[in-house]
Structure 1
Amino acid sequence: MTREGELVAGRYRLERKVGRGAMGVVWQARDERLGRTVAVKQLLPGTVPDDAPFRSIVRAMREARVAAKLKHPHAVTVYDVAEQDGTPFLIMEFLPSRPLTDLLADEGPLPAGRVAELGAQIASALAAAHADGILHRDVTPNNVLITEDGRAKIADFGLSHAAGEGTMTGGGLVVGTPAFLSPEVADGEEPGYPSDVFSLGSTLYTALEGAPPFGTDGNQIALLKRVARGEITAPRNSGPLTDVLLRLLRHTPGERPDMAEAERMLAAVAEGRPAVLAGTKRLPAPTGRSKLPLAIGAGVAVAGAVLAGILLFDGGPAEKPVAAPPVPGQSTTVERPVCEARYEVTNRWPGGSEIRVSVRNAKDTRLTGWEVSWTMPPGTRIANLWNGSLAQDGDRVRVSELDWNAVLPAGGTTTFGFIATTDDGGGTPPVAECRSS
């Protein structure tokens, strides 16, 4: 049993325990050769399927080789690996910090802008790792460290896997924290770069909502099944981060952005810019039905097709105004729309569908408020509205802006969405009308 004051590998003096990661206990220690404070992670028995010391050491050596490849300002640096009495130790950068888990416990859910800022920092480190062929495999709030000056660093590449190196987990073991796994990993598939993207989305969701997207359950098997089925709760506090967050959490791996794209979109939200930047690639349409009833960002087709009802003018009918024949000596003007809206059915399943509505400012000047209205088909009900305020009179529905998305610059867009439940399996999408409020 390792104790305070013990000297590891003749060099690292253990001072105090500071935490516990996925692979073992973390100590604050003193590197007596270089005279600096370091973090020493002690790999504990039972953290690999086979507890034999040789396998543990091999696992730790592999972990050290993988993690030491990554040099990034938002990733914890690994300095060295040591072994003593059959126990491996990783020597890492010591950071006065606390896990995001602790920050959320103390302060509660964080504002969307702050979450986007932290997310962009972590995504930048993970993008660099992916570029080097490194998966993290366990992106969770507990592995995001927040430093004293408020920066984020991703820690514990103990479950990493470098491309070209065989896994040591074997035996059908699911690697990672269940509540933050991607659906494909929970379903038994091999993790890939999109799995890290999903786990980052789950981590950011937790920072915004105060709980993981699939909830928590003491029965880990039940939780894994829920993750695999994609039974996510639509976010309610994500504000301007909604579109990006829901892209990261797409059920199908090929529909998610890569990590570099995630970094760019998160940075845009953090800086108050449009999340889908000029030149940003469009996400591919899925090849099959997504299990996840979520709204997605602009330009994405779901289940092979998007059904849409469009047209929306301030005070106008559901047709574009047509100019009357000119009268000699008189000028003729055509009324321009103030705002436009697009009602899209982005996914269907028995008894319901996922709806996304895009609102666009069609003016040359900024729009300071909007309202979208339409008539719902008989028997249709709205649930889990996000990014809007709902009012309903019978089958007539009105959705207006929230504080954060009320003002749209010229040509600017925003989106809101909801789950529509119905008894008749759907039908033709209604035509929405947009007015300035």
Structure 2
Amino acid sequence: MSERDEVIAGRYRLVELVGRGAAGAVWRARDERLGRSVAVKLLNAADSPSAVERIVREGRVAARLRHPHAVTVHDVVEHGGKPCLVMEYLPSKTLAELVDERGPLPEELVAGVGWQVASALAAAHADGIVHRDVTTFNILLGEDGTAKIADFGIARAIGEHTVTDARVVVGTPAFLAPEVAAGQEAVFASDVYSLGATLYAAMEGHPPFGTTDNPYALLRRIADGEVAPMRFSGRLGDVLARVLRRDPAERPTMAELHGLLGAVMEGRPLPGEPRPEPDAAQNGDTRPLPAPRRVPWRRVALVAGAVVLVATGIVIGDSLSRTDPAGNAEPAPDDSTTATTTTSSSTATTSAAVSSTATTPAACTARFGITNSWPGGYQAHVTVRNTSGRALSSWTVTWPRPDGHAISNLWNGGLTLDDDSVTVVNAAHNGKLPVDGSTTFGFTANGPSVPDPDLTCTSG
């Protein structure tokens, strides 16, 4: 058993034991080379060299992923013949702990957590990584309400050969997808199901198939796919009904689930839902109704008291939809002769000539918001929405580059910086947008002030 002040790999000095589970122990440690706090997870791996090799290899796969809602793996080392993961560190608690404290959680909180985690898993899937163990125990909540998915230690790239015994079911049984419980290999759709089961557990207070001390009985119940009916009948329940389908081919992709959760958060109709009926007072206006006012979920979820320290990282503010100064929702596109729209952080206005005889919907809109700021820097979040009335295959967002600003760490898109402009194109996993669908990208930046740019969104 490792002890305080023990040095791992000649670099990481153990400071405090912060957690222990079936997979191993997590320590807060000091990186003596870089002078920073890190989390070191000492894994309970088998002593066979092949098992150590597998976990080291899969840890390196996990280290490829860089996303603000995924715990970053800094290093993979060996100590005493066992593998160790070195990760970013932040005081936090797990979603499981929050459910234990509060019982079933409110819809706005659960949708917000799921939306953040789905964005990270969609990026992982785009990079060929299946997590394989999405549970309430692996979703971590920072003190500011940021959600992160942790423990990619058993994830691996699709197509990479491993020595995993196919007879061993990997993952926490209560959150497994039916196909995995039946002994099949985990695929992207399996992560979708597990995230749905995790959100179900947060809403209902227990996993979809309950719990039992007999893991074999639980696996049989999951493989049969008989999900207990939800007591909650809200819009998030409608989303989970789509996700918790026994056939993997009938589930949405992770990117699609991210969009569905965004629609729940913003009060927009889900794909397939009827639009609101026109009202005479609105002169036939059929725009989606404004999103209901929401209490920031970090205030609902995080309470005063002792905080359990676990392995997470970067502090990011919670993302909330923004409205104009009068409290109105984003206005409907004006009649125009082009499919281009410019928006700012608080309003959306079309940039084309108005036609009194024909209506050409704008292709997409982009809404800019600041989620966190500090002296000399900030973090931004941009929501791209399809407003064209047809499915889009790609999108591009541009805006004038503020003087003295340097942008870095972009996620969910591709970045091009010119002397006077910033251009972001969609990533591989979020370019296709259904009608009324939305996606997001974000970045960190350094600059003398927090900007409020006018964005232009075009589509393909």
TM-score bracket for the superposition, by shorter chain length: 0.5 to 0.7
Is contact 2:47-2:82 (8 Å) kept?
Answer: no
- Distance change in 2, residues 1:86/1:256 (3 Å): same
Distance in 2, matches of 1:206 and 1:197, equals 14
Q: What SS is found at the alignment partner of 2:90?
A: coil
Partner residue in 1 for 2:267? 272
Residue 61 (1) aligns with residue 56 (2): yes
| Map of 2:44 onto structure 1 | 44
Please list every run of 5 or more consecutive structure 1 residues that lacks an aligned counterpart in the other structure. 46-50, 277-297, 299-357, 368-437
Partner of 1:258: 253
Paired amino acid for 1:3: E
Q: Which residue of 1 aligns with 2:154?
A: 159
Distance 2:227 2:259 in 1: 25
What one-letter code is carried by the residue in structure 2 that aligns with 1:364? D
Shift of residue 361, structure 1, vs aligned partner: 5.1
Aligned counterpart for 2:107 among listed residues 104, 108, 112? 112
* Sequence identity percentage: 58
Cα distance, 1:171 vs structure 2: 4.6
Residue identity matched to 1:274: P
Which residue does the alignment assign to 1:16? 16
**Residues 271 and 10 (structure 1 numbering): CA distance in 2 closer, same or farther, change over 3 Å?**
same
Match of 1:224 among 212, 216, 219: 219
Cα deviation for residue 96 of structure 1 reads 1.0
User: SS at 2:137's partner residue?
Assistant: helix
Distance 2:246 2:221 in 1: 12
Task: After TM superposition, give the deviation of residue 210 of structure 1 in Å.
Answer: 0.2
Give how far 1:169 is off: 2.1
* Cα deviation 1:129-165 (Å, max 9, x = unaligned): 0000000000000000011101100000122121121
Question: Match for residue 97 of structure 1?
Answer: 92
User: Among 107, 129, 150, which residue is 2:145 paired with?
Assistant: 150
Local SS of the residue matching 2:85: strand
Are residues 172 and 156 of structure 1, via their aligned partners in 2, closer, same or farther at CA, if it must alter by over 3 Å? same
Gaps of 5+ in 2: 283-460
How far has the Cα of 1:186 moved from its partner?
0.8
* Aligned match for 1:124, one of 119, 126, 130: 119
Q: Deviations over 1:45-83 (max 9, x none)?
A: 4xxxxx234123202211221111100000000001111
> Secondary structure at the residue paired with 1:98?
strand
Structure-1 separation of matches of 2:281 and 2:80? 69
Q: Give the corresponding residue for 2:203.
A: 208
Aligned residue for 2:376?
Answer: none
In the superposition, relative to structure 1, how do residues 366 and 135 fare at CA in structure 2: closer, same or farther (>3 Å)?
A: farther
Using the TM superposition, name which of 157-166 and 5-14 deviates more. Answer: 157-166
Structure with more relative contact order (C-alpha pairs < 8 Å, separation 6 or more): 2
Where does structure 1 differ by over 4 angstroms across 4 or more consecutive aligned residues? 358-363
CA distance in structure 2 between the aligned counterparts of 1:234 and 1:228, rounded to whole angstroms: 17
Distance in structure 2 (CA, Å) of the matches to 1:165 and 1:360: 45
Structure 1 counterpart of 2:157, one-letter code:
A
Deviation at 1:365, TM superposition (A): 5.0
Q: Secondary structure at the match of 2:2?
A: coil
Aligned to 1:70: 65
Q: CA deviation at 1:12?
A: 0.4
**How far apart in 1 are the matches of 2:204 and 2:99?**
10
Q: 1:365 to 1:126 in 2, by over 3 A?
A: farther
- Structure 1 counterpart of 2:279, from 364, 389, 395: 364
Residue 359 of structure 1, CA deviation? 7.3
Summarize the Cα distance change of 1:365–1:88 in structure 2 as closer, same or farther, 3 Å threshold: farther
Change over 3 Å in CA distance of 1:258–1:206 after alignment to 2 = same
Superposed, 1:165-314 pairs within 5 Å as 165-276=160-271, 298=272
Contact 1:60 1:90 in 2 (8 A): no
Q: Distance in 1 between matches of 2:261 and 2:226?
A: 24
Residue identity matched to 2:267: G
> Matched residues in 1 for 2:184 and 2:156: separation?
15
SS at match of 2:235: helix
Larger gyration radius, structure 1 or structure 2: 1
> What is the CA–CA distance in structure 2 between the aligned matches of 1:359 and 1:86, rounded to whole Å?
59
Closer, same or farther: CA 39–218 of 1 in aligned 2, 3 Å: same
Query: Which residue is 1:88 aligned to?
Result: 83
User: Which amino acid in the other structure matches residue 82 of structure 1?
Assistant: V
Where 1:141 maps in the other structure, the secondary structure is coil
Tell me the SS of whatever aligns to 1:260: helix
Deviation at 1:22, TM superposition (A): 5.5
- Secondary structure of the 1:39 match is strand
Task: Give the TM-score of the pair, scaled to structure 1.
Answer: 0.62
Q: Which deviates the most, 79-88 or 92-101?
A: 79-88
CA distance, structure 1, for counterparts of residue 80 and residue 185 of structure 2: 34
User: C-alpha separation between the residues in 2 aligned to 1:63 and 1:118?
Assistant: 26
1:142 alignment partner, SS class? coil
Please name the residue that 1:391 is paired with: none
Q: Name the CA distance, whole Å, in 2 between partners of 1:361 and 1:90.
A: 50
TM-score (norm. length: structure 2):
0.59
CA RMSD across the alignment: 1.8
- What CA deviation, in whole Å up to 9, does each residue of 1:362-392 have, x standing for no partner? 443599xxxxxxxxxxxxxxxxxxxxxxxxx
- Where 1:28 maps in the other structure, the secondary structure is strand
Count of residues paired in the alignment: 282
Q: Is the 8 A contact 2:115 2:258 kept in 1?
A: yes
